[in-house]
């Protein structure tokens, strides 16, 4: 079945996860790549905080990059990017997605806010080093796992790698991946994929 899909995003932002999933799935979509929409009433009609990514699928809004990617893969199960509900693979997808967002990505986002996003008066510099330590504790878990397998679910590339890979690459870009050779090799594998949307800088 064909779907009418419009993604609201900005190049390498978390919307890149959704773009990558759409490309891997071969689903047709339009993209509104306009950073000036962040915070606007137009975007707030789709995302209550007017952030990206947000997506319209067949006239229905959805936000949160991991939720969007998961749902897109459910729309095209024959592409094999996600296990079916109730499967061990699906449980592991939920596990790694929750882990990377709560135990790692939140700390990076906090650091970006407290080093450049917030006005100086609102920044709490003391939080930056402990946040980095928390991120690295999560990265160690993935480094150990990815020393044993090329990708997170059953040794095959899946949407879980799209979601986790984005966070790991953000950690690399912020200088937090020293001493994790398996994560460095994992990112190289992800960058080799034709549809990879991760920021190479």
Ligand X SMILES: N[C@@H](CCC(=O)N[C@@H](CS)C(=O)NCC(=O)O)C(=O)O
52 near ligand X, rule: CB under 6 A: yes
- Among the candidate windows 49-57, 88-96, 122-130, 192-200, which touches ligand X by CB under 6 A? 49-57
Alpha carbon of residue 21 to chain centroid? 10
51 near ligand X, rule: CB under 6 A: yes
Report the alpha-carbon distance of residue 124 to residue 153 in Å, rounded. 38
- Among the candidate windows 51-59, 69-77, 82-90, 147-155, which touches ligand X by CB under 6 A? 51-59
Helices 128-146, 88-100: inter-axial angle, 10-degree rounding: 150
- Among the candidate windows 45-53, 76-84, 178-186, 191-199, which touches ligand X by CB under 6 A? 45-53
Candidates 53, 138, 165, 171: give the one binding ligand X (CB under 6 A): 53
Measured from the CB atom, the residue of 14 and 19 that comes closer to ligand X is 14
Closest CA to 186 of 103, 171, 175, 53: 171
Around Cβ 184, how many Cβ atoms within 10 Å?
15
Candidates 23, 27, 38, 132: give the one binding ligand X (CB under 6 A): 38
Burial 116-137 (b: 16+ CB within 10 A, else e): eeeeeeeeeeeebeebbebbbe
169 near ligand X, rule: CB under 6 A: no
Interacting residue ranges for ligand X, rule: CB under 6 A? 13-14, 38, 51-53, 64-65
């Amino acid at each position: 079945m064909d779907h009418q899909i419009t993604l609201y995003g900005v190049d390498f932002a978390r919307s890149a996860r959704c773009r990558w999933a759409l490309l891997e799935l071969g689903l047709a979509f339009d993209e509104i790549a306009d950073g000036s929409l962040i915070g606007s009433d137009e975007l707030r009609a789709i995302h209550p905080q007017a952030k990206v990514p947000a997506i319209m699928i067949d006239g229905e809004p959805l936000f949160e990059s991991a939720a969007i990617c998961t749902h897109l893969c459910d729309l095209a199960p024959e592409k094999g990017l996600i296990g079916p509900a109730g499967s061990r693979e699906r449980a592991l997808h939920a596990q790694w997605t929750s882990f990377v967002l709560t135990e790692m990505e939140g700390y990076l986002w906090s650091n970006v806010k407290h080093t450049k996003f917030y006005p100086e008066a609102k920044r709490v510099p003391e939080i930056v080093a402990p946040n980095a330590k928390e991120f690295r504790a999560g990265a160690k878990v993935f480094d150990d796992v990815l020393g044993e397998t090329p990708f997170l679910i059953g040794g095959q590339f899946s949407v879980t790698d799209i979601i986790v890979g984005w966070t790991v690459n953000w950690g690399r870009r912020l200088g937090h991946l020293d001493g994790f050779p398996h994560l460095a090799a994992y990112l190289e594998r992800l960058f080799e994929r034709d549809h990879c949307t991760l920021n190479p800088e």
